[in-house]
Amino acid sequence: MKFLFDAHLDLSMNALEWNRDLRMELPQIRALEKGMTDLPDRERGVVSFPAMRKGNIGLCMATLIARYVKPENTLPGWNSPEQAWAQTQGQLAWYRAMEMDAQLCQIRTKTGLEKHLLHWEQHPQDSPIGYVLTLEGADSIVRMEHVHQMYQEGLRAIGPAHYGPGTYAFGTDSTGGIGVKGKALLKEIAELHLILDATHLCDQSFWETLAVYKGPVWASHSNARKWVPNERQFDDEQLKALLEREAVIGMAFDAWMMLPNWKRGQSNPKERGLTLETIVQHIDHICQLAGNSEHVMIGSDLDGGFGKEQCPYDLETIADLQKLDQILLQRGYTSLDIQNIFSRNGLRFLRKNLPD
């Protein structure tokens, strides 16, 4: 079973906002949610620490996420950036609790990464799962000193926007540029040599960000607009720009990002024929643009506000990402290609861009 690095998991959000104890087996988590209707994915979660271990997912990018929304913004979120900041600090406290319980191990440096990978290889069932801290949407950054404070806590990647108009950039389902505040944030990110996550940036903010920021950039969970024609995915010009920057693009397993014309809450994965193999068209497209398999990774986003109702129907738990091994092999990918996609590409990027 190949080692798998997942470049995007909302672990703390699931723990604190969905109230899931991720140390439990998934049947236990689902049973506790029986009859709950507050969220569409109740009883349908696919991520837990035991499931990650079963799938040999020994490393992930784990998020902090809290949106600040201005009064005119109809999206759910916090009413002040200070509240959003406090939410991320609660999420950070959960990660620390999981470290104390030997469930997770935070990776901050290249040395720490190598130590963790070696320990996982030798003791995969007894090692904590490694995680690198990333911030999805920067609205919780009240002032620039907050970026430096989070860097000291191990933050190593930032996506400036999430959904809607943000403080520093415009995200999915909105239109606009990065402005003075966005440029100030990018300056701090560059100073700290953080990874810039281009995921969720609207087209205008994407191009303005790449023009300003010259440090390491990747897209943790974004698919190809060729196959799903909406702005949440990248078009070919954006993908080529990322490839020129030696970026890696993570494949997301949210149904509406995999198949066109998906209607949330209405479409059914099985009826639409949504399987794990569906992602291969996105992988193929990026590999063809790149001319190799060195710029694709897995950024599953599983349990990122959705569950089995909105992911491939042949995926029961996150461990089933391992099925991609045979799927890709049958589609003509070599074992090395598959290793690249499963972990080598993401690990190479981290080895290059984490501090010593």
Beta strands in the chain (DSSP E): 4-9, 57-64, 104-106, 129-136, 155-159, 195-197, 217-218, 249-251, 296-298
Of the candidates 312, 348, 81, 346, the residue with the CA atom closest to the CA atom of residue 220? 346
Distance separating alpha carbons of residues 19 and 335, to the nearest angstrom: 39
Is this model's pTM higher than 0.95 or not?
A: yes
Residue 228 tokens, joined: 């799903």
Could you tell me the residue range of the domain that residue 41 belongs to?
A: 4-353
The tens digit of pLDDT for each residue in 278-329 reads 999 999 999 999 999 999 999 999 999 999 999 999 999 999 999 999 999 9
Counting the structural domains of the chain, the total is: 1
CB neighbours (10 Å) of residue 152?
A: 9
Residue 351 tokens, joined: 């080895």
State the angle between helix axes of 203-212 and 236-244 in degrees (0 to 180), rounded to the nearest 10: 20
- In single-letter form, the type of residue at position 214 comes to K
Q: How far is CA 43 from the centre of its chain?
A: 22
pLDDT given at position 74: 86
Distance separating alpha carbons of residues 299 and 20, to the nearest angstrom: 21
pLDDT given at position 345: 98
The tens digit of pLDDT for each residue in 142-163 reads 999 999 999 999 999 999 999 9
CB neighbours (10 Å) of residue 205?
A: 26
The tens digit of pLDDT for each residue in 208-246 reads 999 999 999 999 999 999 999 999 999 999 999 999 999
State the angle between helix axes of 203-212 and 179-191 in degrees (0 to 180), rounded to the nearest 10: 50
Yes or no: say if 22 and 14 are a contact pair by the CB < 8 Å rule: yes
Residue 115's CATH number: 3.20.20.140
